[in-house]
Structure 1
Amino acid sequence: MNDRPALADRPPLRADSRSFRESREGEWRRLEAILTTAEKRSVRALSDEDLLALPILYRGALSSLSVARETSLDLELVHYLEGLSARAYFFVYGVRTTAGSRLASFFARDWPVAVRSLWKETLAALLLTIIGLATGFMLVEADPRWFEGFVPSELAGGRDFSASAEYLRSTLYHDGGADGLSVFATYLFTHNSQVCIFSFALGFMFGVPTAMLIVYNGAILGAMFSLFNSHGLGFELGGWLIIHGSTEFFAIVLAGAAGLKIGWAVVFPGEETRMAAAARAGRISGVAMGGVVVMLLVAGLLEGFGRQLITDDLARYAIGGGMLAFWLLYFYVPRRQDITHDG
């Protein structure tokens, strides 16, 4: 008669709080110890005995929680059992994934889904970029003195209206360290990376700084095109830029879209508080920005190797256009798991 009944078969207790605790507290403590070990280390660290006891102790905790609620025992005990049951549920029924599977899920679904959810903001950021590019191009075409107002001297690096067509052409095809476009490319990549970061980070300021950064970045590009176009090298500059720019500038547009998403949520929070709306938008934008970092790394590789190894204009356009097509297909073509999830 000394054998204790199984936890699942034990009848509900109708005692006061003290006797209830005394009768089951040992089992709760054991369950808590098992969960602590699993959380700090892993499930593999548990012994076979603990693994077998875990689901039984979990059901016992649920039973205790039900009794505690029905008999109106002290609120502190109810909260303790709720937390204990929630922790145990994860290890009994939860899906535990490895870092590799989470990373695969990010690239397979999370990132493209986040980007697609920003499609309105992406179009807005693209429009702002085009406006900036057209403005910079037209102003410099009308008056070359605007060039210095748009393009910093560090970025220009001697490529201005005082340079000859031969010199500008040589910088597009000759890898001559500081004498070529290496310095320009490095500065441009650093500049664009900073634009991405600040476009996202400053989105909470109603999106205004984000919009200004996007327009200004487009104006720099337009001014550079005006310079090279005035020497009959607009097509050649486009080939030099597109090989990595189709990825790099796409990343800037997405970063701007992420910032605009947050800014829009702050301006129009709906029924939520501004902080809650911004936090919700930030979760989506944060996923998109995680992918933007990847795009900038890809752009850096394309710029570092493709620009130096490939000097044919048509080949440069083909690679840049191919990368643009890849990103568009990757982000905007629905996947089977997305359809299943949405359905």
Structure 2
Amino acid sequence: MDLDAYTAVHRAEWDRLRVLVARRRLDGAEADELVRLYQTVATHLSSVRSAAPDPVLVAELSELLGRARSRLAGTHEASWEAVARFFVLSLPAALYRIRWWSYGVIAVSCLVALAVGTWVATSPDALAAMGTPSQREAYVDDAFAAYYEPGADFAVTVWTNNAWIAAQCVAFGITGLWPAYVLLQNAALVGATGGMMVSYGEGPLFFSLIAPHGLLELTAVFVAGAAGLRLFWTMIDPGPRPRGRALAAEGRALFTVAIGLALVLGVSGLVEGFVTGSSLAWWLKIAIGVVVLALFWVYVLVVGRRAARAGETGDLDPDEAGYEAPVAA
């Protein structure tokens, strides 16, 4: 294909479509023309991509078709379909694809928490680093349990704080350092707190208050850290794709993970705000925490596997993300 000649022949149609897309109001004839030109330019894009995939022209036509499609379809009618697709396909597939990274992060974080907790519980010097004797006693006797005051305000505060931490793990994941720092700090803090509570004979209180919401909350933070580390690894080893294209695709998919984890942390915030500090029996509160965690993993492993097998990755559709010119392997 002579790309210059092809462009010269069809440039008038592309420009006309651009004019129609930019108009605020269209009469009946112009609306019909918009539909016809949309179909025509879509055919042009397909021809260019298959015969002469010039990246600049492909990007130009992709952007033009995206605007035209939005003008034709609008946003309100398609919004519910997009929401359904997000929850049924995009989000579970994105979570499923990083499951092994999540398993690894969970295992390492639990080992760190266990090691720090054991150290604080068995070492007088480590325990002393947690504060003066009066400060430790006040925390164990009152502050730890008093923190979990039931209510909507507490649930919202917890949710926004944890969602912000998870979003940072994904957003700054490309550094590799930030998610590792957040994960290690979080694991060490949980372990140290648990070790101090155990050293004062309040281990059962610690686990009965941390388990109902913490099972899902900590899992969400671990998955966020895994997503960030996956992005960092993509920069190091992009595979057969060019590094920029690989990072763009993974970044879009992991942004899907960040949105989903904000919702997951919303659920854990509700549990923390209305279950953890409630007057329910301790076994029932822990059972609720186990159930919500189990539902999360069923969603990831069952729904996610089905979506991944259907070819979903969590990335945007090509016409939303921008068509890519093929490259030689």
With normalisation by structure 1, the TM-score equals 0.68
Q: Secondary structure at the match of 1:253?
A: helix
Q: 1:197 Cα deviation (Å)?
A: 3.7
Instruction: State the AA in 2 paired with 1:291.
Output: G
In structure 2, the CA distance between the partners of 1:220 and 1:144, relative to structure 1 (3 Å rule), is farther
8 A contact 2:224–2:258 mirrored in 1? yes
The correspondence for 2:197, drawn from 224, 228, 240, is: 228
Q: 1:325 Cα deviation (Å)?
A: 1.0
Show the 5 A alignment for 1:307-318: 307-318=276-287
Q: Secondary structure at the match of 1:98?
A: helix
| Partner of residue 302, structure 1 | 271
Q: 1:217 Cα deviation (Å)?
A: 1.2
8 A contact 2:112–2:184 mirrored in 1? yes
Q: C-alpha separation between the residues in 2 aligned to 1:174 and 1:85? A: 57
Q: C-alpha separation between the residues in 2 aligned to 1:235 and 1:140? A: 17
Instruction: State the AA in 1 paired with 2:186.
Output: N
Q: C-alpha separation between the residues in 1 aligned to 2:58 and 2:169? A: 43
Q: C-alpha separation between the residues in 2 aligned to 1:80 and 1:176? A: 52
Larger RCO (alpha carbons 8 Å, 6+ apart): 2
| Partner of residue 171, structure 2 | 201
Listed one character per residue, the Cα deviations across residues 207-258 of structure 1 (whole Å, up to 9, x for unaligned) are 2442233122112111111122223322221121122112211110111111
The correspondence for 1:256, drawn from 209, 212, 225, is: 225
Instruction: State the AA in 1 paired with 2:170.
Output: F
| Partner of residue 21, structure 2 | 35
Q: 1:169 Cα deviation (Å)?
A: 5.3
Instruction: State the AA in 2 paired with 1:245.
Output: G
Q: C-alpha separation between the residues in 1 aligned to 2:258 and 2:32? A: 43
| Partner of residue 125, structure 2 | 145
> Identical aligned pairs, as a percentage?
23
8 A contact 2:18–2:64 mirrored in 1? no
Show the 5 A alignment for 1:148-159: 149=129
Q: C-alpha separation between the residues in 2 aligned to 1:126 and 1:80? A: 40
1:128 maps to 2:100: no
Instruction: State the AA in 1 paired with 2:122.
Output: A
Q: C-alpha separation between the residues in 2 aligned to 1:291 and 1:209? A: 20
Instruction: State the AA in 1 paired with 2:174.
Output: F
Q: Secondary structure at the match of 1:269?
A: coil
Q: Secondary structure at the match of 1:330?
A: helix
8 A contact 1:246–1:321 mirrored in 2? yes
8 A contact 1:125–1:211 mirrored in 2? no
Q: C-alpha separation between the residues in 1 aligned to 2:96 and 2:148? A: 41
Q: C-alpha separation between the residues in 2 aligned to 1:201 and 1:293? A: 13
1:111 maps to 2:91: yes
Q: C-alpha separation between the residues in 2 aligned to 1:133 and 1:147? A: 15
Q: 1:301 Cα deviation (Å)?
A: 2.1
| Partner of residue 286, structure 1 | 255
| Partner of residue 11, structure 1 | none
Larger radius of gyration: 1
Q: C-alpha separation between the residues in 2 aligned to 1:341 and 1:283? A: 18
Q: C-alpha separation between the residues in 2 aligned to 1:175 and 1:130? A: 23
Listed one character per residue, the Cα deviations across residues 124-163 of structure 1 (whole Å, up to 9, x for unaligned) are 21012112111211211221432465x6x7xx9x762xx1
Q: C-alpha separation between the residues in 2 aligned to 1:79 and 1:336? A: 32
Once structures 1 and 2 are overlaid, which stretch shifts more, 249-258 or 223-232? 223-232
Instruction: State the AA in 2 paired with 1:53.
Output: E
Gaps of 5+ in 2: 49-53, 313-329
The correspondence for 2:140, drawn from 165, 168, 176, is: 168
Listed one character per residue, the Cα deviations across residues 85-141 of structure 1 (whole Å, up to 9, x for unaligned) are 846874799897633332232122211110000012101210121121112112112
Q: C-alpha separation between the residues in 2 aligned to 1:307 and 1:254? A: 22
In structure 2, the CA distance between the partners of 1:192 and 1:132, relative to structure 1 (3 Å rule), is farther
| Partner of residue 267, structure 1 | 236
Gaps of 5+ in 1: 1-15, 70-74
Q: Secondary structure at the match of 1:309?
A: coil
- Superposed CA RMSD in Å reads 4.5
Q: Secondary structure at the match of 2:277?
A: helix
In structure 2, the CA distance between the partners of 1:61 and 1:142, relative to structure 1 (3 Å rule), is closer
The correspondence for 2:216, drawn from 247, 255, 265, is: 247
Listed one character per residue, the Cα deviations across residues 3-61 of structure 1 (whole Å, up to 9, x for unaligned) are xxxxxxxxxxxxx99x989xx95x77654433223xxx6xxx54333333334455677
